[in-house]
Structure 1
Amino acid sequence: MSKVILYNFNHLRKNFSTISCYVPKHNPVQDNDIEILQEFIQKSMKMVILTGAGISTESGIPDYRSEEVGMYARTDRRPVQYQDFLKSSETRKRYWARNFIGFDNFSKVKPNSVHYSIRNLEVEHDKVTKLVTQNVDSLHFKAGSKQVVELHGTAFKVVCLSCEAEYDRFYIQERLKEVNSHLFGTSEGVRPDGDVEISQDTQDMFVPPSCESCGGILKPDIVFFGDNVPKIRVEEVRNSVTKSDSLLILGSSLSVFSGYRIVLQAVEEGKNVAIVNIGPTRADKDVKLKINAKCGDILPKIC
């Protein structure tokens, strides 16, 4: 008889209910900062918003780099590298096993007040011409935003690297449950892309997915570390920034160049640029307006 691997759901549920455990230490927002950001938004008529993991921490999804609470501070594990995923069947098996165990809980995460505030700026107040997110959690779509570019892809779509067939991630999850019926449960903790820690036994017993059309390698439609953002997506963002009058960055340290170059373009083109983030960002020296605050403490008070 196959060995059954059991996990405890209670710790993970507790983590999601106590979302503040993923938000870095921060000071209360100042009234003056609220007034400054409100004036920035009021003057903006064609605004591009760029969001990062710092807004999803308030929904219970950790970021990578925050001091003490980010994934790099909590574990020595690092995200899968694109070339490793391509070259190694063991790497793919390990990735898919961890993603399979974590996906059910990851997919149930709900938007928070920041996501809804951004939605209101776009849909109710017609301020936002494009919302660019570095997150792969699709929480902006869940909140009702329309003009969304998922810069680094989405965890909710799967693509074949051979024939380019596309699959809904929920469909793949059901397929995986059928062929991995000997495994069930979840692990403690979750990562920004839905990954989790699992035992070596679970990994060894896991059966990874393959393309139904050609038998090729399946990969979530996510830009892995070491991969490039598709050119068509880069061009869409670049054109949106050019047509805008302002850029608002929310919850991103801008450590990844794909996000930072958006700021550089906006500055070069003379757009008004503002950043709201807990802690320093890569672009602090490039912009005139930086507010050190939790997005959930300031944006809902304006929107």
Structure 2
Amino acid sequence: MTPLQRFLEAHPHLFVLTGAGCSTDSGIPDYRDRDGQWKRPPPVNYGAFMHEPATRRRYWARSMVGWRRFGSAQPNAAHRALSRLERRGQVELLVTQNVDRLHQRAGSERVLDLHGRLDQVRCMSCDWRGARHAFQQALVERNPTWTRLDAVDAPDGDAELEGLDFASFEVPPCPRCGGIVKPDVVFFGEAVPRERVETATRAWQAADAVLVVGSSLMVYSGYRFVAAAVQAGKPVAAVTLGRTRADALLTLKVDAPCQEALAFLHADEPAASVPLP
């Protein structure tokens, strides 16, 4: 029995926190290297997106190109392993910092999307919400020549389009009020909704241990739960590659790919992907 297996056997009620490393084997890049440093420029800032039309054009152009692959990504063995952990009755709540909804696609039900969901868009004026796939069609209809472009995928469902003039790119307004449409995710510089933080806090308080999967914990929105749990005397195990912000706080550190470290959780027949409503 591995140290991680012993940890899970000893703690039947887990608060699970996942990050980008959980989805890399689904073809979605992560943000940071083994030392926790940015591999690429940080994601778009909320203030710039809201107040600079040029930033919005650049974001949506990159997103239109990147969505073709991001929108069709499939769960990997790490997502399925955590779904099995839930079916064993061990998950109080799975809080994911990812916006790809792959945990839900793998069959997990007790999931909180801490940073929102990229498969949905919202108006920042009237709070209209719509499907990202439908907004993709609106983007393509207004910008047909951009559909011929291809680029390296970026972590947020966009693509690394550099050296292009985005001035001609047209961003559709809200179909209800004409306002600014934004992905229904938390951008850098934007606060996580209070009710999500409160839900996650109640969950780690009810759990008897914390399991971190695929996160460097460099972003405070996830790190805060680990720090608070440790202060409350709860053990924390982390499965991730490289350094985390909480290394000094961890009870157990497994420096390995998520799929590999969680392989013992798999049933004989992996769970099938579950289509989202």
TM-score, with length taken from structure 1: 0.83
Residue number among 104, 119, 134 corresponding to 1:141 in the alignment: 104
State whether residues 94 and 112 of structure 2, in contact with CA within 8 Å, keep that contact through their aligned partners in structure 1: yes
Distance 1:129 1:96 in 2: 36
| Secondary structure in structure 2 of the residue aligned to 1:290 | strand
**1:47-126 equivalences in 2 (<5 Å):** 47-67=14-34, 72-73=38-39, 75=40, 77-123=41-87, 125-126=88-89
| Secondary structure in structure 2 of the residue aligned to 1:247 | strand
Residue number among 216, 219, 235 corresponding to 1:272 in the alignment: 235
Equivalence for 1:246: 209
Tell me the amino acid that sits aligned with residue 6 of structure 2: E
Equivalence for 2:158: 195
CA RMSD of the aligned region, Å? 1.8
State whether residues 64 and 139 of structure 2, in contact with CA within 8 Å, keep that contact through their aligned partners in structure 1: yes
Q: CA deviation at 1:50?
A: 0.4
- Uncovered stretches (5+) of structure 2, i.e. residues with no partner: 267-277
Q: CA deviation at 1:173?
A: 0.9
Check if 1:228 corresponds to 2:191. Answer: yes
Deviations along 1:95-135, one digit per CA (max 9) or x if unpaired, are 01110111111111111100000001112x11112111111
Distance 2:29 2:134 in 1: 25
- Uncovered stretches (5+) of structure 1, i.e. residues with no partner: 1-33
Select between 245-254 and 181-190 the one with higher mean Cα deviation.
Answer: 181-190
| Secondary structure in structure 1 of the residue aligned to 2:249 | coil
Q: CA deviation at 1:62?
A: 1.2
Deviations along 1:187-238, one digit per CA (max 9) or x if unpaired, are 2211111111225556233210211111000000111111111101100100
Describe the shift of the 1:66–1:85 C-alpha distance in structure 2 as closer, same or farther (beyond 3 A). same
Equivalence for 1:35: 2
State whether residues 114 and 295 of structure 1, in contact with CA within 8 Å, keep that contact through their aligned partners in structure 2: yes
Tell me the amino acid that sits aligned with residue 279 of structure 1: G
State whether residues 65 and 159 of structure 2, in contact with CA within 8 Å, keep that contact through their aligned partners in structure 1: yes
State whether residues 97 and 202 of structure 1, in contact with CA within 8 Å, keep that contact through their aligned partners in structure 2: no
Percent identity of paired positions between Structure 1 and Structure 2: 43
Distance 2:107 2:167 in 1: 40
Describe the shift of the 1:116–1:159 C-alpha distance in structure 2 as closer, same or farther (beyond 3 A). same
Describe the shift of the 1:41–1:134 C-alpha distance in structure 2 as closer, same or farther (beyond 3 A). same
State whether residues 183 and 202 of structure 1, in contact with CA within 8 Å, keep that contact through their aligned partners in structure 2: no
Deviations along 1:65-100, one digit per CA (max 9) or x if unpaired, are 1149x9943x4x331111111110111111011101
Distance 1:169 1:279 in 2: 33
Deviations along 1:159-207, one digit per CA (max 9) or x if unpaired, are 1110111111111111222222233134221111111122555623321
More helix by share: 1
Tell me the amino acid that sits aligned with residue 95 of structure 1: Y
Residues paired across the two proteins, number? 266
Check if 1:150 corresponds to 2:113. Answer: yes
Check if 1:262 corresponds to 2:229. Answer: no
**1:165-176 equivalences in 2 (<5 Å):** 165-176=128-139
State whether residues 99 and 195 of structure 1, in contact with CA within 8 Å, keep that contact through their aligned partners in structure 2: yes
Distance 2:37 2:119 in 1: 21
| Secondary structure in structure 1 of the residue aligned to 2:93 | strand
TM-score, with length taken from structure 2: 0.91
Distance 1:65 1:127 in 2: 29
**1:171-186 equivalences in 2 (<5 Å):** 171-186=134-149
State whether residues 64 and 192 of structure 1, in contact with CA within 8 Å, keep that contact through their aligned partners in structure 2: yes
